[in-house]
Structure 1
Amino acid sequence: MLAVLRLTGASTREHKENINTKDVNVKMSATRDEGEEEEKTCSRICPSAEPDSPASQSNSDFSHPVYKEIAVANGHINRMSKDDLRIKLSELKLDTRGVKDVMKKRLKSHYKKQKLLQSTTEGGATDTYYDYICVVDFEATCEEDIPPDFLHEIIEFPMVLVSTHTLEIVDSFQEYVKPQLNPELSDFCVKLTGITQKMVDDADPFPEVLQRVVVWLQERELGTKYKYAILTDGAWDMSKFLNIQCRLSDIRYPQFAKKWINIRKSYGNFYKVPRTQTKLSTMLEKLGLKYEGRPHSGLDDSRNISRIALRMLKDGCQLRVNERMHAGQLLSVPSSDPVEERRQPPQQESSGHVVSTPHMI
């Protein structure tokens, strides 16, 4: 039986913001073997965000004198007041927004980058693991009083494309999805998400929308020419919503969504804050940012999550995949895992047609 999300008088976003991802190790009882060769239509043409390769990065020599200089600079920054930090950031023409700990991290990252560039020991904090980051934040069917057997269906599929080189949002995708199990949206769902009954009635079922997502990724040469990773606000979107939706639609879980960056983990680890301070609204507030758009709009949520990711990249954070799905179960990806490179796969057959799949593993 499918594991289901139980909400009582709460939105899907509120539940995602309060869930402890340690408890989201969902194993679907009827999940197919990950090594199974026979795949459904969508998975046969899905580009992999991170193709397999033995590539790895070399470890820095921390005995180099430059690291002593960095440690001394960090100690000085730790003793600075909030006003001192703001003045120094202003002098360096860096962002002065955010709480004290955020400003300290920003200044430390700046000095580390400068010292490493000067010493030519390594590329510094501006080195990136991916060319692009695709931010995804689904909206799903919901009710004010959720019955125990209620299954959430994705009704909005947004994707925001962030360039890690230009540090800006460069493109976006959005489509609404027609739910099949519960085609009538509740008044609570319409009010919460702003998605009307007509929007979903005029939309296509999930498999067709997913096909267009894949084409969108392929047209931007993601997974072939450019390395990229999916990024989400928590584990819930992939480990629950997408996982359940694929089973409801009788399609294989897409290859490109098997690994992703959970920005809550990245934010907490980078700024050294507890998980309770990694809600979307809290992260924006601590970074000195305000929510832009309509809350619970999948596209607007994705754009605001992208703004957090961009702020983190500018502050020197190297965002990396930290979660993955395997056999229907959510697993952590160690930060020490090597970054994977692109590789070209052969053509695959799909629904009686030969489909060129330049991004799929």
Structure 2
Amino acid sequence: MEEQKENRPLQNTGCQEEELCGSIKNVELSAGVKRMVSGGQEDKGIHPTKPSAGDFSDPVYKEIAFANGCINRMGKDELKAKLTELKLDTRGVKDVLKKRLKNYYKKQKLKQPNDFEAYYDYICVIDFEATCEEGNTPDYIHEIIEFPIVLVNTRTMDIEETFQRYVRPELKPKLSEFCINLTGITQELVDKADTFPVVLQSVVDWMREKELGTKFKYAILTDGSWDMSKFLNMQCNVSHIKYPRFAKKWINIRKCYGNFYKVPRNQTKLTTMLEKLGLKYEGRLHCGLDDSKNIARIAIRMLQDGCELRVNERMHTGQLMNVSSSLPLEGAAIPHNPQFKK
């Protein structure tokens, strides 16, 4: 939709475009309301009607299209200067800075509430660590050995709380040296831990304590599809429990990042996303909790840039499926106690 708005051909003169580009450089905020200043004098008494979504003939959308064209021609230093003037984050590569400025201008012009902000109260970032061996075969059975959750408050744009439990594997109780070196999880940690059904009950209790799914609407967010479609699905089969309903739908942040910033799939790895946003990894790579915290930082940065993070993947009859962006926003289900298969 946004690409249509940016690239829709408009019949206007270069003079009009020059005037609009000039107006972008004079955007001011007063009590949260944007004023367009032209020729050093403020336009008064002009109250444009609110355009309907998709009404590209509306003058407001024409202004947005012209503004995008102007932003596209700005150099990185100009973008950073403008973002600094608007008190916005200046970190990130040039394409990220462009997107940030375009979304800011678009939001100010449309003055429309963000549907996402009105729906999800929290995002639960989950990044499992699982048993592994060097050169795993395709049929290797992974068992979850760390279950972390990072709770992101979408109103304050902050990490509000974290949860972490280690898990004792049952099929292969002894960790490989490769797994220990990769994850930093020692044999002693998993030997002292509970089995997965007990840990999952702790997860449910924690989520209930936070009133997720009851008082607050929330969504699960992961870095890719594997955490839910492979690791959790495989673990439930190993533990002979039903796949938890609250984890059947989630936000794959890699897809959101690629679609929002218009980058190819090979630029959506965790460390690459951080780098492109001007952020550095904090903590230890492949520590589930640290990975989750860094994924949460990316999610927060994307929300601040105007991205609508929404559920885009789900499990159905044991299979991974995409969720269309045209469907209504949906949150995760109310957490229920683990149920063993009959």
Question: TM range, normalised to the smaller chain?
Answer: 0.7 to 0.9
2:129 is the alignment partner of 1:135: no
1:227 to 202, 217, 231: 217
For the residues of structure 2 that align with 1:206 and 1:142, how far apart are their CA atoms? 17
Q: Are the aligned partners of 1:128 and 1:164 in contact in 2 as well (CA < 8 Å)? A: no
| Counterpart position of 1:95 | 89
Shift of 1:127: 3.6
Q: Deviations over 1:189-225 (max 9, x none)?
A: 1111110001000000001100110111111111111
5 Å-filtered alignment, 1:164-179, equals 164-179=154-169
Q: Mean Cα displacement is larger for which, 236-245 or 142-151?
A: 142-151
2:205 to 215, 224, 230: 215
Please tell me the residue identity of whatever aligns with 1:84.
E
Q: Deviations over 1:166-187 (max 9, x none)?
A: 0010011000000000000111
For the residues of structure 1 that align with 2:281 and 2:84, how far apart are their CA atoms? 24
For the residues of structure 1 that align with 2:148 and 2:64, how far apart are their CA atoms? 41
2:258 is the alignment partner of 1:264: no
Q: Deviations over 1:11-43 (max 9, x none)?
A: xxxxxxxxxxxxxxxxxxxxxxxxxxxxxxxxx
User: SS where residue 163 of structure 2 aligns?
Assistant: strand
For the residues of structure 2 that align with 1:128 and 1:342, how far apart are their CA atoms? 15
Task: List gaps (5 residues or longer) in structure 1.
Answer: 1-58, 352-361
Q: Are the aligned partners of 1:98 and 1:285 in contact in 2 as well (CA < 8 Å)? A: yes
- Runs in 1 of length 4+ with deviation above 4 angstroms? 341-345, 347-351
For the residues of structure 2 that align with 1:166 and 1:349, how far apart are their CA atoms? 32
5 Å-filtered alignment, 1:190-339, equals 190-339=180-329
Q: Deviations over 1:309-358 (max 9, x none)?
A: 0000000001000000001111000111112379989x99978xxxxxxx
2:123 is the alignment partner of 1:108: no
Please tell me the residue identity of whatever aligns with 1:68.
K
| Distance of aligned partners of 1:310 and 1:350 in 2 relative to their CA distance in 1, 3 Å threshold | closer
Please tell me the residue identity of whatever aligns with 1:220.
K
| Distance of aligned partners of 1:91 and 1:237 in 2 relative to their CA distance in 1, 3 Å threshold | same
Task: State the aligned residue count.
Answer: 288
Specify the structure having the higher radius of gyration (Cα): 2
2:148 is the alignment partner of 1:158: yes
Q: Are the aligned partners of 1:159 and 1:302 in contact in 2 as well (CA < 8 Å)? A: yes
| Distance of aligned partners of 1:248 and 1:350 in 2 relative to their CA distance in 1, 3 Å threshold | closer
User: SS where residue 150 of structure 1 aligns?
Assistant: coil
Please tell me the residue identity of whatever aligns with 1:158.
P
Q: Are the aligned partners of 1:136 and 1:159 in contact in 2 as well (CA < 8 Å)? A: yes
1:85 to 79, 90, 102: 79
Output the TM-score relative to the length of structure 2. 0.80
For the residues of structure 1 that align with 2:234 and 2:333, how far apart are their CA atoms? 29
| Distance of aligned partners of 1:341 and 1:155 in 2 relative to their CA distance in 1, 3 Å threshold | closer
Q: Are the aligned partners of 1:227 and 1:341 in contact in 2 as well (CA < 8 Å)? A: yes
Output the TM-score relative to the length of structure 1. 0.76
| Distance of aligned partners of 1:343 and 1:169 in 2 relative to their CA distance in 1, 3 Å threshold | closer
Shift of 1:61: 4.7
Q: Are the aligned partners of 1:177 and 1:204 in contact in 2 as well (CA < 8 Å)? A: yes
| Counterpart position of 1:64 | 58
Q: Root-mean-square deviation (CA), in Å?
A: 2.2
Task: List gaps (5 residues or longer) in structure 2.
Answer: 1-51
For the residues of structure 2 that align with 1:136 and 1:266, how far apart are their CA atoms? 16
Q: Are the aligned partners of 1:112 and 1:124 in contact in 2 as well (CA < 8 Å)? A: no
User: SS where residue 174 of structure 1 aligns?
Assistant: strand
| Distance of aligned partners of 1:80 and 1:187 in 2 relative to their CA distance in 1, 3 Å threshold | same
For the residues of structure 1 that align with 2:338 and 2:174, how far apart are their CA atoms? 35
Q: Are the aligned partners of 2:157 and 2:300 in contact in 1 as well (CA < 8 Å)? A: yes
Please tell me the residue identity of whatever aligns with 1:60.
A
Shift of 1:257: 0.5
User: SS where residue 124 of structure 2 aligns?
Assistant: strand
Please tell me the residue identity of whatever aligns with 2:106.
K
